[in-house]
Amino acid sequence: MRQALQEAEQAAAAGEVPVGAVVMRTETGEIIVRAQNRMRRDGDATAHAEVLALREAARIAGDARLGEFTLVVTLEPCAMCAGAIVLARIGALAFGAWDEKAGMCGSVGDIVRHARLNHRPAVQGGVLESENRALLQQFFAERR
């Protein structure tokens, strides 16, 4: 999570909402991808850290199915990202701050554990929650 938090800090420095993600091999902990929000820089509403990380992990793995990997992200994924996580069949998801406005991994809804979907990753929320939340709160306080 600390590596994802570093990515989030870099995103904030670039004027992006500070969300960072890493994809690691579940068995070894080796990080294969680092990503951060790039929506403003890329002019792309889908350029969330999670989506960018999953795309690059699939390219590196040579397979769109990522069951041997864990996605670590600083903020609870939104509906788009939660859907991408399910479609990528990621093995596990760990996230930092809960998102009471748009989180779809237990807050507003729970796409990643929906009983009717064909894949449900292991999920752990609230990892380094206070640090991740503080970065987001500081970012938005500076803009208001």
Q: Domain range spanning residue 100?
A: 1-139
Q: Return the pLDDT at 48.
A: 98
| 81 assigned binding-site residue | yes
For residue 62, tell me if it sits in a domain: yes
Confidence of residue 144 (pLDDT cuts 50, 70, 90): confident
| 78 assigned binding-site residue | yes
DSSP codes of every residue in 26-66: TTT--EEEEEE--HHHHT-TT--HHHHHHHHHHHHHTSS--
For residue 118, tell me if it sits in a domain: yes
The model's pTM: 0.96
Domain count, the chain: 1
For residue 25, tell me if it sits in a domain: yes
Residues tagged active-site: 50
Give the CATH number for residue 104: 3.40.140.10
Please give the share of the chain, as a percent, with pLDDT higher than 90.
99
pLDDT tens digits along 7-66: 999 999 999 999 999 999 999 999 999 999 999 999 999 999 999 999 999 999 999 999
| 105 assigned binding-site residue | no
For residue 144, tell me if it sits in a domain: no
